[in-house]
Amino acid sequence: MSLVQVGAVAPEFSVKDNNDTPLHLSDFKGKRVLLSWHPVAWTPVCTDQMRALENNWEKFQELNTIPLGFSVDPTPCKKVWAVALGLKNLRIPSDFWPHGKVARDYGIFMEDEGMSERVNIIIDENGVVQWVKVYPLNELPNINEVIEVLSNM
């Protein structure tokens, strides 16, 4: 499947977050959603990416945006990682089973590696994709760029 395009209706998903709580894209109707995909938990760049989301939680709230830190790691792994990172607000959903289904639906699953690419996707209040940026796997997304995009929407 090809990369989800700006202007497309964002594919619905049904996953569990790091607290084993069910989570669906439709839960956030009326809010913007940032799907911040990281390849695998416990790695340095992914750690910094999730901390940047947590550290900017209040700014995201001001921008009517729910940030979600997605990866294909299993829920128990994400639960322990969230505790280790000291995440208080950020939800980090698991796309573990069916393995990478959501990443496939968004066109960002790397079959050979069994994980997602590093990608930020912004979905508007009506469930329409407004911004997509794919990053090199070893590059930390610029959180200020994401906040600027949201501020200008």
Beta strands in the chain, from DSSP E residues, in sequence order: 14-16, 22-24, 32-37, 65-70, 109-110, 115-116, 118-123, 129-135
Burial bucket for residue 83 (CB in 10 Å: 0-12, 13-18, 19+): exposed
Q: Which entry of 10, 23, 46, 92 is annotated as an active-site residue?
A: 46
Backbone φ and ψ for 75, nearest 5 degrees, come out as -50, -45
77 in active site: no
Backbone φ and ψ for 77, nearest 5 degrees, come out as -65, -45
Catalytic residues: 46
